[in-house]
Structure 1
Amino acid sequence: MTTAHGTTTARRTAGRVAREVVLVANANASGASGGRSPDRVAAELRALGARVELLRTRSPGEMADAWRREPGRLVVLLGGDGTLHAAVNLPGPAPEVALIPAGRANNVARCLGIPVSPPQAARTALEGRARPVDLIECRAGASRIVAVEGLSVGFLALARHRYHSRNSADVTAAVAAGAAALVHFHPLDVRLTEHGRPGMVHVGQLFVANMQCFGTGLRVAPHADPRDGLLDVVAIDIPGRRAIPAMLLRLRRGTHLRHRGVRRWRATEITIETRGTSPVMADAEELGSGPVEVRALRGALDVVVPAQPCD
């Protein structure tokens, strides 16, 4: 027997599934093949009752077309974390967005509880509920960039600066970039200004995080909440290059916060200057050595996540 609550839920689900969808597929995403191929994902969405327009893109300019579609259409992004970064930096107001993870790390999806399985992610896109998620505004001179995951300064930023490939799946390029950064690594002094008060921190690695994970699945800020309007700042003192492998292992496990030489605090805005000793990376985009003005943008993007039992 169907309960009144069950009938209501079914009606709401049917309303979601009947939506018109623009499926934006990033052709450069590292995992957009096999079960995550655009045609396969479009078929999954159609099987759930959605009316789907498939838009294959190879550049942010092509992706911008989806941002100009009629209001009310759900934009489903098929790609990795870089796809969402590119999307939030498009001109104009952001539409409601759902994610089908097709990258290497899929940090954003994992942190928001979105399934990485394409069929389950497709069902979440159509049956989930939109929730506001914070973003990060970064200003460097006349440039403005919006970050999703966070910012990095120090060893990992130096390694990313040396990485040159189409997406994050090129292991050979990643190893070469990491080895070069290791050879040239030295701890650095970073100038941080909060509420008009400048200070110096001596670090090997600094994160300003919105999400719990950053980069290749590193759990840099295990307590970060992308809905609280706050940035998690994590400063890691590294005495020298020999300590870096152990640091990376702790970051992958998320156990670094319990070690000496690691500090964590929260802020709503912060200014970063490295004076040429390290680039400031916003997600995977380089912003120079500062000053970079950073502030939390609370609830700036509506992302469809799994519905809670009370929804």
Structure 2
Amino acid sequence: MATRVTLFHNPTAGLENHSKEELLQALHEKGYQTTYVDTKSDDYAEMLKEPGELVVIAGGDGTVAKIVKHLLHKDIPIGLLPLGTANNIANSLGIAGEAADIIAGWDLSKKKPFDVGLVNGPDGESIFFESAGFGIFPQLISQHSKDRDEKKSREEELESALQHVQEILHNTEAHFCTLHMEEEQLSGDYLLVEIMNIRLAGPNMDLAPEADPGDGLLDVVLVREDERDKLEAYIANRLRGKGNTEEWQVRRAKELQVEWSSKSYHVDDEVHESEAPISVGIRIIPDELEFLVP
């Protein structure tokens, strides 16, 4: 009997041509019985109530987050077809290439547990799949969302985002931060405090190369004011097409409390603002999801 799957497709993700028909054909050739859902439709959430034996998501990180938040506590594997710009989640899981090739290589027995982060802040509780943090990334999200050009290629969009990071670094001030973790407390003036579930953040910035989204731990990346030149050099190298040659201060924790002297923080691609200073609790929830991996 054919495996019953539901394909959730964002037809506007990226610039490349990944039509509904091409995706359905590749899934049919794999032997799947597929129901198609446009993620822009009003009833996509209803279709997640009984999605079958496999959920397939074709889109970028935003589409992935939009769909998988409905799959928490459910024992349903997820297949990713990365069609977005950064594709941080897919890249962190080692998933890349043409959609048809990814589908052809799927094995339902090869699954990777995936943790979820929970943030308790001034706005209440929210979850993240990539990262939450303070400093340059809330500014980047706010600024870049205003300047995005849908006509740019994936490479041009990533380059534009890195240029925005560069501009922010030239103009931003560090902020005082205190972090309370299970076994230590840290404080100082930081440009960036990023609590990461995966290794990549923003425009494919490889800040936590050892992060494992299924290890039950958060990777806490810290960039101090006295490391500004180092971070600027990292961005400049990335803009020249060079890989990650820098290492950052990283702590691992299941739970932490962050006290930040400024007013904004982000949870994945959403920026939250409150009266400064702000206090935010963050913890990991292990094994909430499972993804098919190569």
User: Do the structures match in fold with TM over 0.5?
Assistant: yes
TM-score by length of 2: 0.82
Give the aligned partner of residue 116 of structure 1. 97
Give the aligned partner of residue 208 of structure 1. 195
Residue 271 (structure 2) pairs with residue 268 (structure 1): no
Indicate how the Cα distance of structure 1 residues 28 and 275 shifts in structure 2: closer, same or farther if over 3 A, else same: farther
Residue identity matched to 2:53: R
Superposed CA offset, 1:68-104 (max 9, x none): 125x431100011111222233386443211111111
Give secondary structure in 2 for the equivalent of 1:190.
Answer: strand
- Larger RCO, structure (CA 8 Å, separation 6 or more): 2
Indicate how the Cα distance of structure 1 residues 37 and 139 shifts in structure 2: closer, same or farther if over 3 A, else same: farther
Give secondary structure in 1 for the equivalent of 2:198.
Answer: coil
Say which structure is richer in strand.
Answer: 2
Residue identity matched to 2:23: V
Give the aligned partner of residue 290 of structure 2. 302
Q: CA RMSD in A?
A: 3.0
For the Cα contact (< 8 Å) 2:131–2:196, is it kept in 1? yes
For the Cα contact (< 8 Å) 2:162–2:235, is it kept in 1? no
Alignment of 1:275-286 (within 5 A): 275-276=261-262, 279-286=264-271
Which one of 246, 253, 256 corresponds to residue 256 of structure 1?
A: 246
Structure 2 segments unaligned to the other structure (5+ residues):
none
Indicate how the Cα distance of structure 1 residues 39 and 179 shifts in structure 2: closer, same or farther if over 3 A, else same: same
Give the aligned partner of residue 162 of structure 1. 143
In the alignment of these two chains, the number of paired residues is: 281
Which one has a bigger Cα radius of gyration? 1
Alignment of 1:63-212 (within 5 A): 63-69=44-50, 72-90=52-70, 93-94=73-74, 95-125=76-106, 127=108, 129-141=110-122, 143-164=124-145, 171=157, 174=161, 177-178=164-165, 181-182=168-169, 184-195=171-182, 199-212=186-199
In structure 2, distance between residues paired with 1:173 and 1:114: 24
Superposed CA offset, 1:20-41 (max 9, x none): 111001234225x41x223211
Give secondary structure in 2 for the equivalent of 1:264.
Answer: strand
For the Cα contact (< 8 Å) 2:119–2:283, is it kept in 1? yes
Give secondary structure in 2 for the equivalent of 1:248.
Answer: helix
CA shift, 1:293, in A, is: 1.4
**Percentage identity across paired residues of the two chains:** 24
Give secondary structure in 2 for the equivalent of 1:287.
Answer: strand
Give the aligned partner of residue 3 of structure 2. 19
Say which structure is richer in helix.
Answer: 1
Structure 1 segments unaligned to the other structure (5+ residues):
1-14, 307-311
